[in-house]
Amino acid sequence: MVRNANAAAKQPKNQLTRRSGWSSFINSENAAGYIFLAPWLIGFLVFTAYPIFASLYYSFTNLNPLKGLGKETFVGFQNYINMFTTDSVYYTALRVTFVYALVSVPLRLIFALFIAMLLNRKSKASGVYRTIYYLPSIVGGSVAVAVMWRSLWIQEGTINAVLQSIGIQCEWGWLTQPSTALMCLIILAVWQFGSSMLIFLAGLKNIPAEYYEAATVDGAGPFRKFFSITIPMLTPVIFFNLINQLILGFTAFTQAYITTRGGPMNETMFYALHLYRQGFEYNKMGYASAMAWILLIIIGIMTAIIFKSSNSWVYYESKGE
């Protein structure tokens, strides 16, 4: 209050001596806050906000990086039209991405929940296990894991070597055959369950123990407890994880870029990878920007559907009564 009074007292004097907005700003209460905020704010404006709006503009142009910025011409909706009429790989990329996201995300969540349940038991070693199970996610998006995944699943890779050692002769190149390549990448995604697992773990810890005790008294078995207490109580966390992971799934890039380059026969041509090729290999930056905006709309719709449906399946304990 005292400081406020001081500031109020200074204000008229400043306005008298110098009427510049700058000095009134720098002496105001909020100045320090804005200055501390500035690095993030500038970063956001330059590295996020500007590129987003620039890409919206470029999506209506034929921008070619070799020509240089500023040399592009306006082409209207041509990029958007080409996407759906002339790009023969576009629908493949959409299909591959939808299959990848819609299969890998539920599997990953189920797996993450399963491991979280195991780690939720009271044990001295659980801290160690949590770290170990989280490791794949830390290194998850990295190039090294993608390279390792390649050497696991190629024809002379580790998987086939293990199969051979138990007497199964397998000549199948999992990652190089069109029918199984995507499956390898889905398994990779499921394996990187760590971050969802940690969130599930936090959610599990928040379920009051009394519920389970009461259920035990009433004679409920473990399955009944799981489906009648754990799952309903966990729905807000599942909801959160589902949306997060779905977005990650639709924007997947590194895995396919390193392990398969979109091949064989475009069977792992993720949307983001196709976008990258268009922009950086075929120099159609305008077209790539248009693709990015369609992806944004697709993800927006998927998220909206989940939000809409959440009323009927997400249970909040405190419904604001």
Partner 1 sequence: MKKTSLVLCLLLVLMTVLSACTDGSGTSSTGSTASGTSSTQASSEDTTRPITLGISWWGGSTRHEYTNKILDLYKAKNTNVTINAEYVSWDDYWSSMNTKAASNTLPSVMQQDYAKIGQFIDNGTIVDMNAQVDNKNLDLSDIKGDAFYGGKIDGKLYGISTGVNAFCYLYDATALKDAGVTLPSEKFTWDEFNTISKDMMSKAKLATVPMINTDPKFFVEMYVRNQGKHMYSADGKTFGFDKALLVEAFQKQEDLSKSGNALSPDIVNAATQDKDLLAEKKTWGEPLWSNQVINVMKLANDETRDFQLTMMPGTDNGGIYLKPSMLWSITRDCPETDRNAAARLISFILNDIEANKLAGADRGVTIMKKVNEALVKEADPNNKKVYDYIDVVGKYASEIDPPEPVAGSEITKEIKDQFDAIVFGKKTAQQAADDCWKNSEQIFATNAG
Would you tell me which residues interact with partner 1 (CB under 8 A)?
46-48, 50-52, 54-55, 58, 64-69, 75, 78, 82, 86-89, 154-156, 171-173, 176-178, 244, 247-248, 251, 253, 263-266, 272, 275-277, 279-283, 285, 288-289, 292, 295-296, 299-300, 303
Q: How far is the CB of 270 from partner 1 (least distance, A)?
A: 12
Tell me if residue 184 falls in helix, strand or coil.
helix
Q: How far is the CB of 64 from partner 1 (least distance, A)?
A: 6
Neighbours of 116 (CB within 10 A): 24
Cβ proximity to partner 1: between 44 and 315 the closer is 44
C-alpha–C-alpha distance, residues 95 and 86, integer Å: 16
Backbone angles phi, psi at 155, to 5 degrees: -60, -40
Tell me if residue 28 falls in helix, strand or coil.
coil
C-alpha–C-alpha distance, residues 39 and 169, integer Å: 59
Tell me if residue 74 falls in helix, strand or coil.
strand
Closest CA to 318 of 241, 236, 244, 242: 236
Q: How far is the CB of 102 from partner 1 (least distance, A)?
A: 17
Q: How far is the CB of 88 from partner 1 (least distance, A)?
A: 4
Q: Which residues contact 221 (CB under 8 A, 6 or more apart)?
A: none
C-alpha–C-alpha distance, residues 161 and 48, integer Å: 46
Q: How far is the CB of 321 from partner 1 (least distance, A)?
A: 29
Q: Which residues contact 64 (CB under 8 A, 6 or more apart)?
A: 71, 72, 283, 284, 285, 286
Q: How far is the CB of 198 from partner 1 (least distance, A)?
A: 17
Q: How far is the CB of 1 from partner 1 (least distance, A)?
A: 36
* DSSP category for residue 279: I
For the chain, the 3-state helix, strand and coil shares in percent, each to the nearest 5, are 70, 0, 30
- The angle formed by the CA atoms of residues 8, 10 and 13, to the nearest 5 degrees, is 125
Q: How far is the CB of 264 from partner 1 (least distance, A)?
A: 6
DSSP track, 34-70:
HHHHHHHHHHHIIIIIHHHHHHHHHTTB---TTT-TT
